[in-house]
Chain A
């Protein structure tokens, strides 16, 4: 026999119950709509998803794709990525059911994507602009073009012009000088790109003198104050004055210069420098279908799209039919400088990068700090 409970005297009032019920119903309906909308309703028009880096890189692609949606009656969605390898990694896991169609990336990552089985070769019959692209910016394996670049990155030395006399920087070998001792230099790690190749190029003329390059890097160790993978970290470290010089891509420096920082970007004249190129990689079995994917690649490598992109990110176009507008020219490489660019051996790089990273971790990193 249950005794009457003192607790039951104040029950829940009708109004309170009504409010709670309304809140729960509204939340459930809202939640249900959100769930339904984001997961099951098919998109009205064919949609194509392209993974881009954010900020100016996104704007460059968005500008370049102006008119694409109308021309092919589709919707373009942008997936913002930080490291394209993460996106490729994601697509490898999603192999059976990819969610992204085109990924902006580079040749090295494309090779890794190929190892993961997610890369669709560029089809020349659907991408006529392909033949106008300089051969240095096409990744060709066994006759098939697996990757094509729509812009060309190049490396140089960014310095704090308020601390370093720019006239002293006449050669890449300057990085080894006492001006940067101690720990005033920022270098990318092999995980990102280039320290091994550039060192090998500078001291031995080609990228294949790996062992000797590592000896030289050991000599460089006392100067190294930053070993970076992320451009944001590099530019911030230079801006904060933590380092006085930086081996980096042109874009890192140009952005800082535009914001009024006392930074100069120097490509030592007459010496070979490392280059890289970025472009749209096509994902196998992408949801938009091969036809639309190839159309997007064709559009992005066209001269018009390349100029619009170059205006945002100050990188050289790869299409020979492009005429560079005069206001953009000062930010890009001249033809003489283009000739200094070392031809990228993407396969060599991709096959050895993690071995170089291992050597960096075991031979160079212990010498830092």
Chain B
């Protein structure tokens, strides 16, 4: 009896310390970045020596950085939406049906992650010029979608496995057709996977450098590409300020959305006849 309790307690302590360690590791970079963005000098940014808004001034004054953020958001949102649409359909097919070439397709959708982005970006650039296709907006969109797709797919697929078919079968017995079932039963059930997919896809597309660097032109220059260029010779905390700003804005946007609308409602909001 005594033995059992202490094993249990040890496990509990181990698990809690693992959780604390993980949260600590997750938070270290954002904290360092946030504090260095307020540091008065560029040298020795951590621990912070004082408070200064100098780098934020530089950041807001840099029109390239601002348009970089705007472009990044535009392309990330679009490519996440596109890869979500493609990924949901494909994972539904793979989870629910047995068809020839299923495993091959599974591998195919996974494969973009496996190819180094730098090689892929270069290959894609050469490929489009070989095809004589010059619409840079579409090119960048395609590149980011392909990069985001495997992540979205890999996160949504297990969600489909996780829900029982009987929900769908019950709905169909009650008279719903396939589309209604899909929209009102299946999709809401995979909500957690969907949210995870949205976040991962967006983060991947937004932060992408190696592919985007080959595909951008002046008008579509994204934030990571601009940042790398800016810090070419010297790591100046303007980048930290930019990063802190973006991070805070996104998290606040998410919190506000959550409070006002509730992420749950966003997904089941529209009902169909």
Q: Does A5 contact B (CB under 8 A)?
A: yes
User: Measured between alpha carbons, how far is A12 from B268 in the docked complex, in Å?
Assistant: 12
Q: Give A48 Cβ to nearest chain B Cβ, in Å.
A: 11
> What residues of B have a CB within 8 angstroms of the CB of A255 in the complex?
42, 233-234
Q: Give A139 Cβ to nearest chain B Cβ, in Å.
A: 22
Q: Does B207 contact A (CB under 8 A)?
A: no
Flag if B236 contacts A55 (CB, 8 Å): yes
Smallest CB-CB separation from A239: which chain B residue? B43
Q: Does B250 contact A (CB under 8 A)?
A: no
> What residues of B have a CB within 8 angstroms of the CB of A285 in the complex?
none
Q: Does B125 contact A (CB under 8 A)?
A: yes
Pick from B174, B236, B270: contact of A20, CB below 8 A.
B270
Flag if A5 contacts B176 (CB, 8 Å): yes
Pick from A7, A12, A31, A58: contact of B174, CB below 8 A.
A7
Q: Does B265 contact A (CB under 8 A)?
A: no
Pick from A16, A35, A55, A95: contact of B129, CB below 8 A.
A95
Q: Does A94 contact B (CB under 8 A)?
A: yes
Query: Binary interface profile of A, 79-122, with partner B (CB < 8 Å = 1, else 0)?
Result: 11111001001100111110100000000000000000000000
Pick from A7, A89, A96: contact of B180, CB below 8 A.
A7
Number of residues from A at the complex interface, CB < 8 A: 54
Stretch at the interface among A63-71, A172-180, A229-237, A321-329: A229-237
Pick from B41, B122, B229, B273: contact of A80, CB below 8 A.
B229
Pick from B134, B184, B235: contact of A7, CB below 8 A.
B184
Smallest CB-CB separation from A17: which chain B residue? B270
Pick from B218, B228, B230: contact of A79, CB below 8 A.
B218
Flag if B122 contacts A93 (CB, 8 Å): yes
Flag if A90 contacts B214 (CB, 8 Å): yes
> What residues of A have a CB within 8 angstroms of the CB of B248 in the complex?
none
Q: Give B21 Cβ to nearest chain A Cβ, in Å.
A: 24
Flag if B135 contacts A39 (CB, 8 Å): yes
Q: Does B219 contact A (CB under 8 A)?
A: yes
Q: Does B132 contact A (CB under 8 A)?
A: yes
Q: Which of B114-149 contact A (CB under 8 A)?
A: 122, 125-126, 129, 132, 134-137
> What residues of A have a CB within 8 angstroms of the CB of B213 in the complex?
82, 86
User: Measured between alpha carbons, how far is A90 from B272 in the docked complex, in Å?
Assistant: 47
Q: Does B221 contact A (CB under 8 A)?
A: yes
Smallest CB-CB separation from A257: which chain B residue? B43
Q: Does B64 contact A (CB under 8 A)?
A: yes
Q: Give A284 Cβ to nearest chain B Cβ, in Å.
A: 15
Flag if B273 contacts A231 (CB, 8 Å): no
Interface centre among A90, A95, A240, A252 (most CB of B within 10 A): A90
User: Measured between alpha carbons, how far is A7 from B233 in the docked complex, in Å?
Assistant: 62
Q: Does B74 contact A (CB under 8 A)?
A: yes
Q: Does A143 contact B (CB under 8 A)?
A: no
Pick from B41, B136, B231: contact of A55, CB below 8 A.
B231
Instruction: List, sorted by A's number, 20 A–B pairs whose CB atoms are closer than 8 Å.
Output: A6-B174, A12-B272, A16-B269, A34-B74, A38-B136, A53-B229, A55-B234, A56-B233, A80-B226, A90-B125, A93-B129, A96-B132, A99-B217, A231-B233, A231-B234, A235-B234, A251-B234, A252-B234, A260-B41, A261-B44
- Chain B contacts to A: CB under 8 angstroms: 41-44, 64, 74, 78, 122, 125-126, 129, 132, 134-137, 171, 174-177, 180, 184, 213-214, 217-221, 225-226, 228-236, 269-273
Excluding A3-B175, A7-B176, A231-B233, 10 further A-B contacts by CB distance (< 8 Å) are: A10-B271, A53-B229, A55-B233, A80-B221, A82-B228, A93-B122, A232-B234, A255-B234, A260-B41, A260-B43
- Chain A contacts to B: CB under 8 angstroms: 2-8, 10-12, 16, 20, 31, 34-35, 38-39, 49, 53-58, 77-83, 86, 89-90, 93-97, 99, 230-232, 235-236, 239-240, 251-252, 255-256, 259-261
